[in-house]
Structure 1
């Protein structure tokens, strides 16, 4: 087996936490993952992964070899990108990460438009609400909601992420339109399951702050599930504007408490400084800023 391929599989095992997870990422069987790691250990003459019936853990040699391998692959990617930078037409594989809701409703359509204009580029769009490590997961760019930490990334601001409180016309006819956050206590409210554990979205009620009611009629761990319930008149919903925009425009949902919604959160397109010269990435950044850049 090729040593670089063995190293790539070993790195996937470390980053994904198990042979099975690495197999899913690489599109091979867990048995084949084990063979690659075993072959690498034979080539090196050292044990990298300590195996047991229940778990796997890195040996001290394995931890050192993993860090060195990351540097080797980063240098390899840079060497490959040097060839790509010499080409005028964007081409190759572009790997992008984006949050699920924003990715589904905004980023995915823009990616499709980008590919129509750049047919030589293949795109791997990964939608996840987790914080993606661009280097560790070999991503070219990511769209992130919230403040950007000191990670040495280029961060280009996009249009902010806004929330909307809305309900179906039938619900408002039956229960009335809330005029203040305090009135939410007598309304049927639909809640995202994550908010029960982590109150991210703070409502504004005059000079005070408040939170979305926890005593919800329906709790769901996905915004689209709450949206369907709101469309059927089950209650009030607070969700991202990008998720509800089409329903509001069509009159299927009506915004309420517009002055009480949480403050918008910043959104950035981030990428590594050493990749900005890649034609495929440079063109994608231009495309995103033209569509979503702050004006």
Structure 2
């Protein structure tokens, strides 16, 4: 028999004055109510009620056990109510990991809308280009850019991570504007210092191009490469989310807009047993809605 059911029958028997009254209140037979009491007494190895044909009274242990049962059942009821409440309204702290550029340029502006939509949720956002271990490091979800390795994580696809090639108007006035991909090899190209490849790939309806590029300045951080491009130090290839605002404002000029540049798949990943959390479910749904 279920222990909590037996406790509830026992509490009702004490408060109603008899097992038969407890059975009526709990919606079971008097025989079943007696079975619950005997199960409890056998489990505890102690007698809880002294009963005669006319009356019952609590043993010393039974009186103490009654108080403990009341407290346990109260805690269980409160926990159930809290769980039901959380199913309705996302609440609590959500710990998220995201790459630096995506987190700064795309996720941060979107979080204002998410937090306004879910006022009982707080977000602990960690920006890092390192692949974090969700379970070991206590993250509930992470944004990943690139192909995902096989794992037990659940993944939801977001819009691909697009690249853009840009330069400042000052640079183009000084060095000229490249009109075809091959021209890039004659320009100062800004690149990651950790990049293994010295080629940029572009494609259009006429074909695919793999252009060798070089430059005197290499930097290991995307935002710094953007600043270098703004200062007229060269041509940069970076994620569109990092450069689009500068293009709209005229601070940078997009080059080869008719060409397609490589893009990377973007995903939000989370542990399979965490998706039942309303706060995580609300966050994943929001990301798919905003960046899907």
**TM-score grouping bracket, smaller chain normalisation:** 0.5 to 0.7
Partner of 1:241: 240
What is the 5 A alignment of 1:1-295?
Answer: 84=83, 87=86, 88-195=88-195, 198-199=196-197, 202-204=200-202, 207=207, 209-210=209-210, 213=213, 215-260=214-259, 262-293=261-292
Q: How many residues align?
A: 210
Q: Distance in 1 between matches of 2:142 and 2:211?
A: 30
TM-fit CA distance, 1:133 = 1.2
**Which 4+ stretches in 1 moved above 6 angstroms?**
none
For 2:287 and 2:273, locate their aligned partners in 1 and report how far apart those are by CA, in whole Å: 19
Give yes or no for contact 2:199–2:210 (8 Å, CA) kept in 1: no
The answer for the alignment partner of 1:52 in structure 2 is: none
The aligned residue for residue 49 of structure 1 is none
Q: What displacement does 1:131 show?
A: 1.0
Q: CA deviation at 1:224?
A: 1.5
Residues 19-42 of structure 1, C-alpha deviation per residue, up to 9 Å, x if partnerless? xxxxxxxxxxxxxxxxxxxxxxxx
Gap change, CA 1:161 and 1:171, over 3 Å in 2? same
CA drift of 1:273 comes to: 1.6
CA distance in 1, matches of 2:260, 2:165: 7
Cα-to-partner distance string for 1:176-211 (whole Å, 9 max, x where unaligned):
21122321222122122121xx23974136645425
CA distance in structure 1 between the aligned counterparts of 2:198 and 2:151, rounded to whole angstroms:
23
Q: Of the two, which has the highest radius of gyration?
A: 2
| SS of 1:289 mapped into structure 2 | helix
Query: Quick check: 2:166–2:254 contact (8 Å CA) kept in 1?
Result: yes
Secondary structure in 1 matching 2:148: coil
**CA distance 1:181–1:268, change in 2 (3 Å):** same
SS at match of 2:96: strand
Tell me whether 183-192 or 98-107 shows the greater mean CA deviation: 183-192
CA offset digits 1:81-101 (Å, max 9, x no partner)? x96575221111101011110
Partners in 2 of 1:186 and 1:132 — Cα distance? Answer: 39
Quick one: structure 1 residues 175 and 283, their matched pair in 2 at CA, closer, same or farther if it must change by over 3 Å?
Answer: same
Residues 93-132 of structure 1 deviation map (CA, whole Å, 9 limit, x = unaligned): 1010111100111112222321222222121101111111
Using the alignment, how far apart are the partners of 1:200 and 1:112 within structure 2? 38
* C-alpha distance in structure 1 between counterparts of 2:198 and 2:115, whole Å: 34
TM-score, normalization by structure 1: 0.65
- For residues 166 and 291 of structure 1, the distance between their equivalents in structure 2, rounded to whole angstroms, comes to 25
Separation in 2 of the partners of 1:275 and 1:145? 21
Preserved contact between residue 143 and residue 269 of structure 2 (Cα < 8 Å) = yes
> What secondary structure sits across from 2:267 in the alignment?
strand
Give the Cα–Cα distance (whole angstroms) in 2 for the partners of residues 280 and 250 of structure 1. 36
Two-structure CA RMSD over aligned residues (Å): 2.3
Distance 2:120 2:177 in 1: 52
Q: How high is the TM-score relative to the length of structure 2? A: 0.66
8 Å contact from structure 1 (residues 192, 222) kept in 2: yes
Aligned partners of 1:225, 1:233: CA distance in 2, in Å?
13
Unaligned runs of 5+ in 1: 1-79
